[in-house]
Chains A and B, each alone.
Chain A
């Protein structure tokens, strides 16, 4: 099993077409919608995490491209600068996916799981020492 995070841009004439569901049906892919903003008569954007066989992921992405969907890899990455982190935990109740979490309730150590991060950036400004960084 492989997984990949991609950003999809739907041209406005494709907004009302069912496209994404075929990834499941035809390509056996599991997807997790991390972010979606679709407005009628405007370009739509979606961030997906695809998991499945590598070859199926490639075929699925080719299918999306053939439908006129623009595909970019999700290149935004959130990193915690541990030298700056004061280990308070302010981010923990803000993070919607528990990517920022308390590793051990006895020591109350704050940890970060990049696998769970959806790069929503909600944690950036609430961090008092500003230890969370967005990398492009």
Chain B
């Protein structure tokens, strides 16, 4: 493939293609010699909800960090479509942990991306209020992170990712540390947000059930080196609700994806 590529290379050449993110032959080798990604080709359409599913250490988080520009690909090309000059802000990132600044209020945490972009106060206030309302935390703007539950902290983190009105939302196992009840609730809220806001979402998870419930497309990855081993299209009727979660259709998808995931891990053991 091509030589070392900048992680965030240029504007999407032809906006008509409709791809939000495009990876071509992307590999990542860490300084320690660990091959995290062994050649990934992936296209994500605009407004698509895609899950990257795989066991721990399969490089799915690495792929996300490459797309975000937080680290550079060893070889290959990462293309991210963005609007005009606002390069950095077309991406929102939600980490595994809420990653909030404990020393300041929810409001200031959500405002951070705007503050770093030098957005004037009043305009920023409006955006922060909007983002907090979107995640249902309008009344908690003045609370400090330690005063919130785990689920609420994650919502703040989501509001912070939404505040710049990004085209692409990258989520790195955001709900993995939450209890199941909270996770289901946040799954539904995320789906509602996605339907209303038409963002492109790339969602990393190791839960088959979560990936099937949320995504239009599930990408199954193999453990080290991370490669794409299978891909599933989940064509369920929208909007998905708790009913879908208990349907035979959902169970069928989960079974197919689970088998593919087992295969992906098995391949690795055999070689």
Asked if A pairs with B, the answer is no
Residues of A within 8 A of B (CB): none
